Amino acid sequence: MASSLAAWLATSDNVISSDEDVSNSPNVEGKEYCPELLQPGATCSSQCAGDAAPANPAWFPWPDKQTCILNILWHLLHLLFSDVQLQVILWGLAILRVDNVPSMKMLKDIDNSLQAQYGIPSVHYQGALGHIYYVNHLPSIITQEMVNPCIHPHIHHYPEDAGG
């Protein structure tokens, strides 16, 4: 079925049924059609160009808007995308010819870099009875709260009684 769908999408028949409105049809004349994009694992040339695109400082720490949006979607709480789901989204963007779409490898590399630079590490502990548990690194949490310009003004520092 997938091959018949790919073959149907690859045909360049400009057949418009009577139910379709011609005025709303997209103008795709003069654009190259790449049927190989319909194959599993295919990449668009815009994905490759996205890897070499210069970083936009307005979207720091991401290199550009597209990467920022995809990374945020990928990590939304209670709406985590699997790698396969994200690949389907990237495939759809490639088919729609969206410019500068990052590749899956680029997204993973940026994710690993952001996690290493700004993430909260988990500390591994083993209980007295041998059970294993993890705790978020408290100094890293406090550091992030202190440098956050939205949170820092609301933090109130209380004096410490040193016992003297």
Same domain, 114 and 135: no
Residue 42 confidence (pLDDT) above 50: no
Per-residue confidence band for 54, with pLDDT thresholds at 50, 70 and 90: low
Same domain, 93 and 111: yes
Residue 5 confidence (pLDDT) above 50: yes
- What is residue 118's three-state secondary structure? helix
Query: In this structure, is residue 69 part of a structural domain?
Result: yes
Compute CA distances 3 → 7, 10, 30, 87, whole Å.
6, 10, 26, 19
For residues 137 and 123, the answer to whether their CB atoms sit within 8 Å is yes
Residue 7 confidence (pLDDT): 63
Same domain, 70 and 146: no
Same domain, 101 and 133: no
Same domain, 73 and 129: no
Residue 75 confidence (pLDDT): 77
Compute CA distances 46 → 12, 52, 97, whole Å.
22, 10, 8
Query: In this structure, is residue 51 part of a structural domain?
Result: yes
Same domain, 76 and 98: yes
Domain span at residue 129 reads: 122-153
Residue 64 confidence (pLDDT): 83
Same domain, 67 and 133: no
pLDDT digits (tens, 9 = 90+) for 95-145: 878 888 888 899 899 889 988 888 899 999 999 999 999 999 999 999 999
Same domain, 60 and 127: no
Residue 88 confidence (pLDDT): 84
Query: In this structure, is residue 11 part of a structural domain?
Result: no
Same domain, 72 and 59: yes
Residue 138 confidence (pLDDT): 93
